[in-house]
């Protein structure tokens, strides 16, 4: 940057609580800072149109607490499309969860088999 001091101030602001709250209230970005989420929850006691409820942050944060972070390496990214397709099928087409995830599992097994230079699991049935 031609203005490193300004760039550093911007980065600090974007990583801070004020920015997190603003993004959560106006853009629908889930607040990952506990202090921001707690303050927004408290606001909902008196304001039933609060962003925390309107954007379903409670549900997102409950799921995040039980989630496993997926790596972002190129090797791991090959796993994302099958799960994206499964979620899309479940949400948009009301597909059975077991069927959609079985399809994703089959596709991932094919990727792994191809990467390992071997065959996929026994049967290879979809």
DSSP H or E stretch at residue 76: helix 74-77
Burial class (CB in 10 A: 0-12, 13-18, 19+), 20: buried
What's the confidence (pLDDT) of residue 126? Answer: 52
CB 20 within 8 A of CB 31: yes
What's the confidence (pLDDT) of residue 20? Answer: 92
Q: Dihedral (C-alpha) 32, 101, 76, 107: value to the nearest 10 degrees?
A: -160
DSSP H or E stretch at residue 45: none
What's the confidence (pLDDT) of residue 122? Answer: 47
What's the confidence (pLDDT) of residue 87? Answer: 93
pLDDT per residue as tens, the chain (126 positions): 799 999 999 999 999 999 999 998 888 888 888 899 899 888 888 887 888 888 888 888 888 888 888 788 887 888 889 999 999 999 999 999 999 999 999 999 988 887 777 554 444 445
């Amino acid at each position: 940057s031609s203005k490193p001091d300004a760039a550093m101030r911007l980065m600090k602001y974007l990583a801070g609580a004020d920015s997190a709250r603003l993004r959560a209230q106006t853009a629908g970005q889930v607040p990952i800072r506990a202090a921001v989420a707690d303050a927004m929850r408290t606001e909902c006691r008196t304001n039933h149109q609060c962003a925390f409820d309107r954007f379903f942050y409670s549900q997102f944060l409950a799921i995040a607490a039980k989630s496993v972070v997926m790596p972002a390496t190129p090797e791991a990214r090959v796993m994302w499309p099958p799960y994206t397709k499964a979620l899309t099928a479940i949400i948009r087409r009301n597909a059975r969860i077991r069927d959609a995830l079985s399809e994703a599992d089959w596709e991932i097994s094919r990727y792994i088999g191809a990467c390992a230079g071997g065959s996929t699991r026994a049967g290879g049935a979809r």
